[in-house]
Structure 1
């Protein structure tokens, strides 16, 4: 038998899948993979069931049902004063992960370079490599996870075509300040780059933090491709409903890829999310309050265990420094905690290509039942 494709020769199993498997094998409390261990709102599940009963069960239009594209357009206008044409500038995808793959495949030629700000969501690099592109890392430096403008400028060459930004940021919980975004935006404009803005945690903000979509910055609407999804917002990650918002030219390219990857997205779930988006204003205060309570609970538990770090302002992740607890690197310490303390976390060095800063941290997900968080804290006592 001939070998499989060289483009995936250096691929490994996703760290998220590996950690979840080890958590099951060791009967560990899983604070690794980023999904809630409780369900999203009952009213939205009831909407989905009703949509199935009403007969919305066949293929949807490949670009997404009209109603959902319209409601995505509506909320961008209502919350951010952004005007996206639902017919020509919004595409529905199988979650944000497919959206990321589609955008990169639509834009990147073999040999093109893509700036990734590390630590990064691991599918960025995989998608770049599958497109034949070259990922170029620029480090967000701990403990505040800021970028150095000069370092970013140095990483850009005539081959650079795309810069990827994640805000609010997984895995650090950072919410980018406007001044930081303006810095990145000015560089993208100076070097005529596309910018893919992954904003799936756009509504998970705490302590008065504000989400600023990159596309709202002066001069950035045309060159920004915004990716988001309903999975994080409604706590229903298994529904896998995401979207891409971009100018008409880029949208056309993305749709050409999307139609040959998945063609269509789950019809009843699209119908349900479309209805759910109409209720965002009423839903979001309770949603944010729920996760803020979990963040505060787990942060207090971690502080009581002797961990010292700044409380995250967004997402449902905490990057927790471990150097005061161990001389081990993140991977070895994560394995130790799974096996000996029955707590699963994600070693963030998997999210770096250049820097070794990730070896000094573990990523914890606090999107869990309160009893799950307390059980994890109890298992970690005496570290």
Structure 2
């Protein structure tokens, strides 16, 4: 009798999402959820109304596969004023089911077996599985704390004739790093040298601190043609559950990506795309107020960590902070994360989920501070229990 393995060898190379698992753990133990990266406050009322209006107007059937036309044109207008890029909404924009599908569709559309994809480590946990599912071999380049910089020699060594692309996430999840123009220029130089693509995840583009500026790789000289820019509504507009993302790319790449997107999901939710037009038309004051809001939340949470005397790296962007838990003596960050949820009542993400070798993240944990003041206060009250352990 013939017996065949019932599952793909690909899925043996990665686990389920630890980030999403920690939300389930938080729910099980009634912990304050500072794990998964979503706000627990309301999105702008204008977006709620726009979504309701779209549904009431019977925009409830399939949108055009690559995106509602009015939404794509609104994206192009926003990209023009914010990034200074002129993007053809008919030939260079694809709307997807979140930035998660955007990255997967991009890899599946561009990668062949034997290709390599460079990933900065620590990394958002979806990137390596996406590369593996696309039959690529991930190559890792280390970001070194406390400022999460990379070694130029290590990056140069990672590029070779098999390099198809490099993934850049700026602002960066989980570290909060914002890539500098000098760093991006070096990456651009290497991409030209090795004829490589750049997949940029810019979902946190408006959440920046200390007067930092977001620099899109596609705006660097000669990089627009070889950059696939991935973004979405989730973080900037506090609507992570809407699952509306988008991709900017040159027409050749867009044509390939649209083919994959079509057979992955057909299209993103039609009424929510139409509501996205409203988001794209928000005035600049909205983004300034968003940055100020998150600056306050960052300050509040860093004060909490100072109170309990846990070292951390100051995030330059996004809404996460990586903290050092080595003083607690746990053999793994996953073990500490379960202890934190079960015994302290606060959920966080173990650092191990952001590294290919879990032991490399054993002394780190990621907190998400995109929460209401009362949520952060509840977390403070519970986390203060750790101060006794630190001082013991």
When normalised by structure 1's length, the TM-score is 0.97
Aligned counterparts of 2:323 and 2:206: Cα–Cα separation in 1: 22
Give the Å deviation of 1:295. Answer: 1.1
Cα distance in 1 for partners of 2:313, 2:120 equals 20
Question: 1:231 aligns to what SS in structure 2?
Answer: coil
Question: Are the aligned partners of 2:332 and 2:359 in contact in 1 as well (CA < 8 Å)?
Answer: no
Gaps in structure 2 of 5+ consecutive residues: 387-392
Write the distance in 1 (CA, Å) between the matches of 2:385 and 2:19: 27
Q: Which residue of 2 aligns with 1:85?
A: 88
C-alpha displacement of 1:69: 0.8
The size of the alignment, in residue pairs, is: 383
Provide the residue aligned with 2:222 in structure 1: 219
After TM superposition, give the deviation of residue 355 of structure 1 in Å.
8.2
Q: Output one character per residue of 1:75-112: Cα deviation in whole Å (capped at 9) or x when no partner.
A: 11111211111010110000000000000000111121
Does 2:329 correspond to 1:363?
Answer: no
| Distance change (3 Å), C-alpha of 1:218 and 1:92 | same
Whether 1:196 aligns to 2:211 is no
**3-state secondary structure, aligned to 2:225:** coil
What is the CA distance between 1:36 and its match in structure 2? 1.0
Distance in 2 (CA, whole Å) between partners of 1:280 and 1:299 is 30
Whether the 8 Å CA contact 2:344–2:385 is kept in 1: the answer is no
Q: Which residue of 2 aligns with 1:311?
A: 314
Structure-2 residue corresponding to 1:164: 167
Q: RMSD value over aligned CA atoms?
A: 1.4
Per the alignment, residue 67 of structure 1 pairs with 70
Structure 2 residue 269 is matched with structure 1 residue 266: yes
Structure 2 partner of 1:31: 34
Q: Is the 8 A contact 2:95 2:268 kept in 1?
A: yes
Task: Answer whether contact 2:202 2:231 (CA < 8 A) is retained.
Answer: yes
For the 8 Å contact 2:99–2:203, the answer to whether it is kept is yes
Aligned residue for 2:10, secondary structure, equals helix
Match of 1:118 among 105, 110, 121: 121
In the TM superposition, residue 286 of structure 1 has moved relative to its aligned partner by: 2.1
Alpha-carbon distance in 2 for matches of 1:45, 1:327: 44
Does 2:228 align with 1:244? no
Q: What is aligned with 1:53?
A: 56
- Tell me if structure 1 keeps the 8 A contact 2:115–2:162: yes
Take 2:331 and 2:11, find their aligned partners in 1: how far apart are those partners? 30
Aligned counterparts of 1:326 and 1:374: Cα–Cα separation in 2? 26
Q: Structure 1 residue 356: deviation in Å?
A: 4.5
Provide the rounded CA distance (Å) in 2 between the counterparts of 1:377 and 1:277: 35
Bigger CA drift: 175-184 or 231-240? 175-184
Map of 1:373 onto structure 2: 376
Structure 1 equivalent of residue 157 of structure 2 = 154
- The Cα shift of 1:22 comes to 1.1
Separation in structure 2 between the aligned mates of residue 151 and residue 36 of structure 1, nearest angstrom: 36
Partner of residue 212 from structure 2, selected from 209, 222, 227: 209
Measured against aligned partners, the alpha-carbon deviations of 1:112-154 in whole angstroms (never above 9, x if no partner) come to 1110111111111111111111111111111111111111111
Moved more, 197-206 or 154-163: 154-163
Query: How much does 1:327 deviate?
Result: 4.7
* Offset at residue 357 of structure 1 (A): 4.0
Question: Residue 306 of structure 1 aligns to a residue in which SS?
Answer: coil
State whether residues 298 and 374 of structure 1, in contact with CA within 8 Å, keep that contact through their aligned partners in structure 2: no
Structure 1 gap ranges (5+): none
Distance 1:116 1:355, change over 3 A: farther
Distance 1:288-1:330 versus aligned 2 partners, 3 A rule: same
Alpha-carbon separation, structure 2, partners of 1:300 and 1:337: 19
Q: CA deviation at 1:336?
A: 1.5
